[in-house]
Amino acid sequence: MEHIRTTKVEQVKLLDRFSTSNKSLMGTLYLTATHLLFIDSSQRETWILHHHIAAVEKLPLTTSGCPLVIQCKNFRIVHFVVPRERDCHDIYNSLLQLSRTAKYEELYAFSYNPKQNESEQVKGWQLIDLAEEYKRMGVPNANWQLSDANRDYKAAICRCSQPLSGFSARCLEDEHMLQAISKANPSNRYMYVMDTRPKLNAMANRAAGKGYENEDNYSNIRFQFVGIENIHVMRSSLQKLLEVTGTKGLSVNDFLSGLESSGWLRHIKAVLDAAVFLVKAIAVESASVLVHCSDGWDRTSQVCSLGALLLDSYYRTIKGFMVLIEKDWISFGHKFSDRCSQLDGDPKEISPVFTQFLESVWNLTEQFPQAFEYNEAFLLQIHEHVHSCQFGNFIGNCQKEREELKLKEKTYSLWPFLLGEQKKYRNPLYNPDFSPELTLLEPNTVSFNFKFWRNMYHQFDRSMHPRQSVFNLVMNMSEQNKQLEEDIKELEAKIKQRNGQPDAVPVKEHQQPAHPAPTAPKTPPCFKKEQPLIPVNDAVRTIEGSNTADNRYSEFVAEFSKAEPAVVSLEYGVARMTC
């Protein structure tokens, strides 16, 4: 709290950055120890975690006040106009301090209290058990040993960092290890070594005593470069993308040319192309594959996790995806702290590696809409909490750091909270049996299959969203169908009960009076106005501390919650039911 100079400022304007008429909301701005809060005149709340803030900029004074622009790691951008320059300066300096954390213990996760008892906290961390996951994969959990336990072994995906080979050095231990991996596969005597870097980059590393494997020194290996750029290129590419998406009034040509020049979708394609190569080597050639980049925790994590997602349908379920992230990202040492700027450190270490992974998964859900149990809201929520530091899962750079911080004792796990709200993260089109032969997914990676992910980069820009939500429409239809099915079961039960009464007396048909009294029509129970799928009460806060109205799926709920004619499939035919 010592960094907060001003806790409350009134008569603050919140601007819509894409409005052509400079539309704004008037309200009050609050600063707390963990959040920035804006409450407009209609009592709608906008919550922003301090740890979500990536940059704060104070613009020159204008006639209407002092502008303050806040850019967040989840791609939210808010533009305030503070009436007094002194108040704006105080808010600016406070946010600079509050958004730059010097040590892990100052992160929000260490003070966040969801009112769980100790046993619930422990169960939350035990929800994902990697030992059980390796058993599911058929991998022994003990140290490797010589035995016949692996006699039915097929192909394997292995990962590591680059060898310290230089131009002429050899590492006999490394050569023996690759030979052992190759020999362990009875289906194929050769194996692939995938270097995820561009060849030019790998050759430059050779000059520093690192580099890549020399095929002359390794027996039965096939070497393959796949050309994914390094973290610095990816960081620059994202910055160019955000400049394009943040520019108001672009023509179609300017937007598309800007999107192309950023190179962002080209990089997403390169990552998925590498995963497809890995999958074909495993599934088609039955060859083991060793994947590495420079250090083994960035591009290697992207390719191995996407390869597993394409090979194993379990990872396309909600819990399976959590297991995949724990296995291939968290436990294998992806540097979440450095890449997501959790602490005030070297800005050159920041890079959207995990964001690219989530965007690659989203592109797969667009190609295979029935193959994934989760929807894009699930992916967006995970992206939200990778940067929020509200839960302990993604804090730190490696497992050693996490154990030293005692995260399982001092913080809470994200996964039980997501599972507790999984209804809104379920894909209504998901069908685990839609095509058993497609247990292996084979995406088409031609250029025009890659899309700009509007709901990632404009999630909070309400005016940029379509006027109708396909997701909302499908979810409401699904809810309607469930309600109709329940009504049918209830009516069938009443009919059986009526027919089964032994003392039932036939009802005689009464003669209608000449002038019957008017009666109000009764609305059938199946056409009661359904509740919105996602609550729109602005006073209720979501688990990340944000306003539920910020959820992109809550828009236009009223429009789609109107009762509509429905067609219900019965075993006797089709009945059209109208009001």
Q: Which residues are catalytic?
A: 293
Q: CA 77 to CA 538: how far, in whole Å?
A: 20
Give the burial class of 10: count Cβ atoms within 10 A of its Cβ; 0-12 exposed, 13-18 middle, 19 or more buried.
exposed
Q: Strand 221-225 to strand 35-40: parallel, antiparallel, or no bridges (unpaired)?
A: unpaired
Which candidate, 302, 303, 299, places its Cα nearest to that of 289? 303
Helix H, strand E, coil C: the string for 220-279 is CEEEEECCCCCHHHHHHHHHHHHHHHCCCCCCHHHHHHHHHHHCHHHHHHHHHHHHHHHH
Nearest to 286 by CA among 136, 186, 411, 390: 186
* Cβ density class 206-216: b for 16+ within 10 Å, e for less: beeebbbbbee
Tell me, what amino acid is at 171? Answer: C
Separation CA 178–CA 160 (nearest Å):
11
Q: Read off the amino acid at residue 555.
A: E
d(CA 207, CA 201) in angstroms, rounded, equals: 10
Q: Do 303 and 275 touch, CB atoms closer than 8 A? A: yes
Report d(CA 39, CA 495) in Å as an integer: 54
- 397 within 8 A of 338, measured Cβ to Cβ: yes
The terminus-to-terminus CA distance of the chain in angstroms comes to 58
Backbone phi, then psi, for 15, in 5-degree steps?
-90, 150
- Bridge partner list, 70: 56, 78
* Helix, strand, or coil (residue 326): helix
Any bridge partners for residue 66, and if so which?
A: 82
**H or E segment to which residue 90 belongs:** helix 85-98
Query: At 12, is the secondary structure helix, strand, or coil?
Result: strand
Chain centroid offset of residue 403 CA? 25
Locate all alpha helices (DSSP H) within 368-469, ordered by sequence. Answer: 376-388, 399-405, 407-410, 415-420, 454-457
Tokens read off for 475: 């979810």
Contact 6, 14 (CB under 8 A): no
Query: In Å, how far are 136, 192, 431 from 286, measured between CA atoms?
Result: 20, 11, 28
CA dihedral for 20, 25, 31, 34, sign (positive or negative): negative
